[in-house]
Structure 1
Amino acid sequence: MSVFELDDHSRTIIHIDLDCFYAQVEMNKNPNFRSVPLGIQQKNIVVTSNYKAREFGIKKCMLIAEAKKLCPNLVLANGEDLHDYRQTSYKVTNLLQKYSHLVERLGLDENFVDVTALINEKLKKSSDVEVVGNISGDSSEKCDCGCTERLTMGTVIAQEIRDLIKNDLNLTTCAGIAHNKLLAKIVGSRHKPDQQTVVFPNSALELMLSLDCLTNIPGIGRTTFEQLESVGIKTIEDLQNGGVKKLEPLLGADKARIIHNFSYGIDKSQVKPTGKPQSIGLEDSCKSISVEKEVRNKLEQLLNRLLLLVAEDGRIPKTIKLTVRKFNKENKVSHRETRQSNINPSLFSNQSANKTKIMTTIMHLFNRIIDVKKPYHITLLGLSFTKFQEPPNLKNSVASFLRRDLEVQSVISIESQNGVDEPESPVPSTSSVELKDVESPSPSPSPKKLKLSNLVTKKRCFEDYYEDCESPSKLKVADLCLESVSCPPDADQDVFKELPLEMQKELWEDYKRRRSAEMNLCSSQVKKPKPNTLLNYFIRNN
């Protein structure tokens, strides 16, 4: 079977790439940057620049000193704080999700969007559309499977997406449209900035052979390239002619097959919806640090910034990871090492983290990596949180319900004792009796003014009872004997109110006899409180 017979043309993938993303964000924040050559600085590196700066030959990751020689008027904006970039990036992703739920983030400035379902719907209504934007290769030869019509409609949708991003966020983009992710990413870089390009399946091989280097294929990095080069594979044609069998000893069976398919423009990988990041981290390179106090100060700075990112994310991390890059002055080699540790999610309760305890964990990890009794030289420190869990929804939890119920009932009881008119009830107020006597009905106290100290005492009475409760399943209204209950739970309230007082009491006594097995709460609880109960679990996690 030919390798081309394995290709699937049924999908339509759009690759959206934001033009000089960091620079655009800075230009939106400060419009004066639009008219000058702008570089984004991180440490002593220009990580990216706007297109005015690129006209002077400035490239990504160029040293600032070298960039200044090429462009003496270069304006630099500090890009070490990624907060605004992250926020803008997620806004772009949210806009893309209006067109498909299959949106896969690729860094901060790139996204894949699978619009196959949307296109199939649009083609049912109308197929009379023309290509919008640039075309890679010859488009005269059409495929019988209908992919030409689908990809043509894809160019229309890509333009709609780019217009939406431009209008809503004032960001320009490039787009690549193809039947798979690989081709969409490669062809999108053909015409920049603020343009889009489509490649049809019949031109896929031509596009791949036009690549200058194997590293232009996504998935082939420097290490893989050196492995291929070691066996004489240096070009796309070499990769195609080498075959899977030649690649397997180097890359393994699975990766060998994938890389070989890539050389023909075949990519079977799906667009995987991207949720929240699996880790949130920061790294900071620095001049050689050899004092523990300086290490702690740097890590505290990173932790403060990291906690802000975690708060924005909304999830609770369960693991913290420390990264340290050590420099060996003897052999002039740097070495990265990481350690991680579980942390108690309760440290992040009430929207604030216990920084002291977290720092203790971080420094413990540092001492596992570095022997502080010996000379050391640190050139990079990094912190990250991983293994997140969603925060508990306490709004509708059992514990929050019980707390609200107790508070409401105690207020009702207090109001009754302050002279608020309430119908007589044979049910005594818990706030006016000892908890151990809760089973024995007694007359309600006569209404009278209570002092503030009495109100506090009654409030504490409820809190003490609540804390010592053995199980939330036993906190029934009838058992608590609160004044707001005017009739037994299994009786009709309207009918109950019409009965004489003596009959009401008789019904209550009958109800209590039937429930006597469940009314031994206080006598067992007050003597032997059980800390590992369901209710206490809710309290601890609140």
Structure 2
Amino acid sequence: MNKNPDLRAVALGIQQKNIVVTSNYKAREFGVKKCMLISEAKKLCPDLVLANGEDLHDYRQVSYKVTNLLHKYSPLVERLGLDENYIDVTTLVNERVKHKDDLKVVGNVFGASSEKCDCGCTERLTMGSVIAQEMRDLIKSDLNLTTCAGIAHNKLLAKIVGGCHKPDQQTVVFPNDALELMLSLSSLTNIPGIGRTTFEQLEGAGIKTVESLQNTELRRLEGLLGVEKSRTIYNYSYGIDKSPVKSSGKPQSIGLEDSCKSISVEKEVRKKLEQLLNRLLVLVAEDGRVPKTLKLTTRKFDKSNKTSNRETRQCNINPALFAPNQSNKEAKIMTTVMHLFNRIVDMKKPYHITLLGLSFTKFQEPPSARNPLATFLRKDLEVQSVTNIENQNESEEVPERKCAIPSTSDLGAADVESPTPSPKKLKLASLVSKKRCFDNCYEDCESPSKLKVADLSLDPIACPPDADKDVFKELPREVQKELWDDYKRRKSNEINFCSSQVKKAKPNTLLNYFIRNK
């Protein structure tokens, strides 16, 4: 309707495949409901105009714009799908209520109770209604969207009361009217968290209304639904919900699914998956993060027993594939996708696919191209690894250190594609790495800027703990190595013969001239 204002004056339904997934209020006046078959909707409303809504790209874009606007009022915004958000404005309410004496509720009020709580929640919820109207006005002016809002002291009541007056209205419920709100629900399925399966379990046990749920012993519910779930919905029946509003942040997964007529040819499967992948890569690029896992979902139809079976497979992918200048990205990812498909479906046997889906999960933030860590991780940078030096204090024996550089498959996209460091940066990186090495070996080591050229070699030799460091540093490298090897031999002999109490004589080597206090 925002894209085409002419649609505002007609009964409009949003179509996905053969279903009306949602509709405007003009269509709802004829009885059109969500997820209704198009054939049924047309019988109720012959003049129903349908718009294709299979591509959710624009819906997602606007949805996050709404969430961003709500963040202006509080950092605690929890997303529920595309068109709902919880927002905790407690801090803002407490700040504003101090400076307002004569407050009036904005919008509708559920219930007739005029009693005020001693704790001051009446004033706070009243201020909440003022803030809710501000939010709705901002969304209307910036995005041209109408909204509804529910204002309450917990998430459960706010969600339920938000649907009491539609469209484009808001309603507040005070704590004293919470029980009345719950008893006004026509079905248990109106309580968030009670879906069709749970409702059928309760109905089978003779629990069909909110009141009957309240009157059911908790032990009986636990026998039906388990301890945790039964206590949750039991509390819900009384309007009790202690769950906090959790900031959603970015989604944990980004995916697309598409149901289809029975596909039994690999060529058609590949074509459908390529379409999904192209759309999915656009969403990932807009998100800005780099995925590390790819998941494939299929739904197979078994003609023999006329049942459908949904299966998923996933595997890790190289984050470097998502580098800005990566060539043949789609083809490389499709190779992985088809590999997953072959793990699910035996291509040698007949198969019938009725749904395909792709999603990316386990995201990581893209490293900055100027991240100094990149200079330490590049293959062409000869930096001494110091991972084994920490064990020196425990065993007093340092094995020969080698350069440990991760492969490009372990690096982020920006690390792989970062520009080649200049000679100055290479030199600085070597100095910093050298300093870390010396810091681990001995605490009073001088800074790298004060060390001699010989001290900055790529393979430093640690000073034996019982030798004078200043003298040791002045020795030639060959002598240092001899002293260190001798020290290792002595320590090894002490360990081997300590249990047998065999005292080994000190070898007469050059090291004896540098022993402290000799």
The alignment's TM-score, normalised by the length of structure 2, stands at: 0.74
Structure 1 residues 400 and 514: alpha-carbon distance in aligned structure 2, compared to 1, 3 A threshold: closer
Q: CA offsets, 1:388-408, max 9 Å, x none? A: 0100112242547999xx9xx
Maintained 8 Å contact 2:376/2:429: no
Amino acid at match of 2:340: L
Q: 1:437: which partner in 2? A: none
Q: Secondary structure at the match of 1:173?
A: coil
Matches within 5 A, 1:349-388: 349-350=323-324, 352=326, 354-388=329-363
For 2:451 and 2:170, the matched residues in 1 are separated by: 80
Q: Secondary structure at the match of 1:29?
A: coil
1:250 Cα offset (Å): 2.2
Amino acid at match of 1:88: V
Structure 1 residues 331 and 132: alpha-carbon distance in aligned structure 2, compared to 1, 3 A threshold: same
Structure 2, unpaired ranges of 5+: 382-418, 434-446, 460-518
For 2:158 and 2:133, the matched residues in 1 are separated by: 14
Q: CA offsets, 1:509-539, max 9 Å, x none? A: xx99942443789xxxxxxxxxxxxxxxxxx
1:251 Cα offset (Å): 2.0
Matches within 5 A, 1:374-453: 374-399=349-374
Identity in percent:
75
For 1:126 and 1:141, the matched residues in 2 are separated by: 20
Matches within 5 A, 1:99-118: 99-118=73-92
Maintained 8 Å contact 1:214/1:220: yes
Amino acid at match of 2:351: Y
The answer to whether 1:518 aligns with 2:456 is yes
Q: CA offsets, 1:44-87, max 9 Å, x none? A: 11111111222222111111222222223222111111111001
Q: Secondary structure at the match of 1:317?
A: strand
1:201 Cα offset (Å): 0.8
For 2:249 and 2:432, the matched residues in 1 are separated by: 40
Maintained 8 Å contact 1:127/1:149: no
For 1:159 and 1:357, the matched residues in 2 are separated by: 50
Moved more, 30-39 or 129-138: 30-39
Q: 2:429: which partner in 1? A: 472
Moved more, 309-318 or 225-234: 225-234
Maintained 8 Å contact 2:254/2:360: yes
Q: 1:199: which partner in 2? A: 173
Structure 1 residues 475 and 463: alpha-carbon distance in aligned structure 2, compared to 1, 3 A threshold: farther
1:342 Cα offset (Å): 0.9
Amino acid at match of 2:339: H
Q: CA offsets, 1:88-119, max 9 Å, x none? A: 00000011011111110000000011111111
Q: 2:497: which partner in 1? A: none
Matches within 5 A, 1:19-418: 27-350=1-324, 352=326, 354-399=329-374
Structure 1 residues 152 and 111: alpha-carbon distance in aligned structure 2, compared to 1, 3 A threshold: same
Q: Secondary structure at the match of 2:135?
A: helix
Structure 1, unpaired ranges of 5+: 1-26, 407-461, 477-489, 491-510, 522-542
For 2:220 and 2:126, the matched residues in 1 are separated by: 38
Q: Secondary structure at the match of 2:98?
A: helix
For 2:106 and 2:77, the matched residues in 1 are separated by: 22
For 1:358 and 1:96, the matched residues in 2 are separated by: 36
Q: Secondary structure at the match of 1:125?
A: coil
Maintained 8 Å contact 1:285/1:380: yes
For 1:37 and 1:275, the matched residues in 2 are separated by: 35
For 2:94 and 2:181, the matched residues in 1 are separated by: 26
Q: Secondary structure at the match of 1:112?
A: strand
Q: Secondary structure at the match of 1:143?
A: coil
For 1:463 and 1:155, the matched residues in 2 are separated by: 57
Amino acid at match of 1:397: P
Amino acid at match of 1:101: P
Maintained 8 Å contact 2:291/2:364: yes
Structure 1 residues 154 and 45: alpha-carbon distance in aligned structure 2, compared to 1, 3 A threshold: same
The alignment's TM-score, normalised by the length of structure 1, stands at: 0.70
Structure 1 residues 513 and 49: alpha-carbon distance in aligned structure 2, compared to 1, 3 A threshold: closer
For 1:308 and 1:470, the matched residues in 2 are separated by: 40
Q: Secondary structure at the match of 1:158?
A: helix
Maintained 8 Å contact 1:311/1:351: no
Moved more, 511-520 or 234-243: 511-520
1:136 Cα offset (Å): 0.7
Maintained 8 Å contact 1:288/1:377: yes
1:465 Cα offset (Å): 9.8
Q: Secondary structure at the match of 1:28?
A: coil
For 1:291 and 1:95, the matched residues in 2 are separated by: 47
1:133 Cα offset (Å): 0.8
Q: Secondary structure at the match of 2:239?
A: coil
For 1:220 and 1:283, the matched residues in 2 are separated by: 25
Maintained 8 Å contact 2:375/2:421: no
Q: 1:15: which partner in 2? A: none
| Residues paired across the two proteins, number | 403
For 2:451 and 2:162, the matched residues in 1 are separated by: 79
1:230 Cα offset (Å): 2.4
Structure 1 residues 227 and 513: alpha-carbon distance in aligned structure 2, compared to 1, 3 A threshold: closer
RMSD: 2.6
Structure 1 residues 519 and 217: alpha-carbon distance in aligned structure 2, compared to 1, 3 A threshold: closer
Maintained 8 Å contact 2:179/2:239: yes
Maintained 8 Å contact 1:323/1:339: yes
Amino acid at match of 1:379: T
Q: Secondary structure at the match of 2:216?
A: helix
For 1:356 and 1:140, the matched residues in 2 are separated by: 66
